[in-house]
Structure formats: structure tokens, C-alpha cells
Amino acid sequence: MNPVAFEMFSVEIRWYGILICLGVLSALLLANYNCKRKNLNFDLLTDVFLWAFPAAIVGARLYYVAFEFDQYKDNLVDIFKLREGGLAIHGGLIGALIAVIIFAKIRKINLLEYADVAAPAIILAQAIGRWGNFMNGEAHGGVVTSEFIGHFPEFIQKGMNIGGNYYHPTFLYESIWNVIVCGILLFILYKRKESQKGIVICSYLSLYSLGRVFIEGLRTDSLMMGSLRVAQVISLAGIVIGIIGIIIFYRKKQIKVKIEN
């Protein structure tokens, strides 16, 4: 696949960036709808986004570079070439979380309430953003047979034909899983009681992590720490933390979380 969509003033505009922007726009539209359903202030959530999104990009890049520093140590300028890919979702989530906590501390908002309406939007953005990996020819799995890849649409077959071999379209597996999780989260959000704030964001953490554990095992470009796949370790922790959070918030009649000075 050609990762370049078009050129503007001699600058390459890549599909990776376009799809990330499309994911962000879709997330904002869904978050706006969720805020209306839950009678929340979307302008406030937009303010949160303006803090969280840049922090997520920085966190995603630093996380990736930290585990792949050998690629950049001889040419540090390449660290800033975001259009070529190299963003790790777990680093992005960590960066965004730090920014959101700081914002919530300053503005004294109900963090769980807004996290719940944002969770389906976040996973939707992830689902769309994974197609940027497809256009870059990255985040795929191991070699598969032509018979196996033949079950997929022709454009997927062409995109996964890299160097004469066919590869697992793991980006597609994760994108589909994320769409399914988005639907589940929306159902929980619209059905949950107002006293059970926090269940949706914890469900996001556990469900996304569950899919990532299995899909990561198929990938060939995993970030490693010794013999361990970092994403699998973090995802396993995410499953446990998410389930514990669901149990806690489900049992409590009323949860009000405010970060005080």
C-alpha cells in the first residue's frame, strides 16, 4: 500500500495522519452525542480533549521510542517523524491519563462521569486509527498461506502482501474487536444507573485489554522487555484492574470522584 495520500506544497500527507484525524473527529462526534444523552457539558469534555490529545501523542511516541531506542540513537531527529508511524497506544493512554488527572485537579470535575461518556469514543478512535497501520504496512502478524488470506477482501490481501509473503492482518482483528467493544460500552453506558459511574471506563479497560492480549500474540513487531511482550503484560494488568473496578463501582450506590487540591 502507498502510505502517502497526496502532496501539498511539496509536503507528503500520509494516510496514517489522515486516519488518526478521522478517528479523533469520529470520537468527538460520538462523545458529543453521549453528553447529550447523559445531560453533560460537552464543552467541558472538549477542554479535557485539548489537554489529553497532545499528551496522548507525546506519551505514545515516547513509549514507543523508549522500547525501540536503537532505531533512533544514531539519528535523534527521526523521533519527531510521527507521520511515519511509531505510536504505542498504551503510551498514549498513560499520557492522556496524566493530563486528564491534572485537568480534573484544576477544574474539580467528576472524573468518572466524563470518563464513562468518553470511553466508547476512545475505543472508536482506536478502531479507525488501526487502519493507519494498514496503510503503513505495519502492526501485522506472522506469515500466512495464500489460502488463509484468500478469505479476506482483495484490498486486504494486497496490503498484506509484503515482500512476496502474506501476513496476518492483525490491525483488522483489533479494529473489528474495538468496534465490538464500542457497541458493548454504549449499551452499558445507556443502561447503567447514574449511581454506577465508573463501570463503563473500567469495562473499556478490561475488554480492550482482553482482545489485545490475544492479538498481540500474533504480531511480529511487539515491543519487548526481555522475553516478554510489553503490551501483553500491561493488558493482563488492565484486565485485572478493570474487573476489580467494575465490581467496586457496581456494588456502590453512589460514587462521586473529585480530585481535590
Q: What is the pLDDT of residue 168?
A: 96
Domain residue limits at 13: 4-194
Q: What is the pLDDT of residue 217?
A: 94
Cell match 500520509: residue? 14
If you average pLDDT over residues 253-260, what whole number do you get? 46
The one-letter amino acid code at 118 reads A
Residue 224, SS3?
A: strand
With respect to residue 41, please indicate whether it lies within any of the assigned structural domains: yes
Question: Tens digits of per-residue pLDDT, 83-104?
Answer: 677 889 999 999 999 999 999 9
pTM attached to this predicted model: 0.89
Total domains in the chain come to 1
Binding positions are: 130
Q: CA-based angle 165:166:168, to the nearest 5?
A: 140
Q: What is the pLDDT of residue 255?
A: 43
With respect to residue 234, please indicate whether it lies within any of the assigned structural domains: no
With respect to residue 125, please indicate whether it lies within any of the assigned structural domains: yes
Question: Tens digits of per-residue pLDDT, 44-54?
Answer: 999 999 999 99
CA–CA distance, 98 with 6 (Å, rounded to integer): 35
With respect to residue 132, please indicate whether it lies within any of the assigned structural domains: yes
With respect to residue 221, please indicate whether it lies within any of the assigned structural domains: no
If you average pLDDT over residues 4-29, what whole number do you get? 92
With respect to residue 8, please indicate whether it lies within any of the assigned structural domains: yes
With respect to residue 224, please indicate whether it lies within any of the assigned structural domains: no
- Residue 190: pLDDT band with limits 50, 70, 90: very high
Is residue 253 over pLDDT 60? no
With respect to residue 168, please indicate whether it lies within any of the assigned structural domains: yes
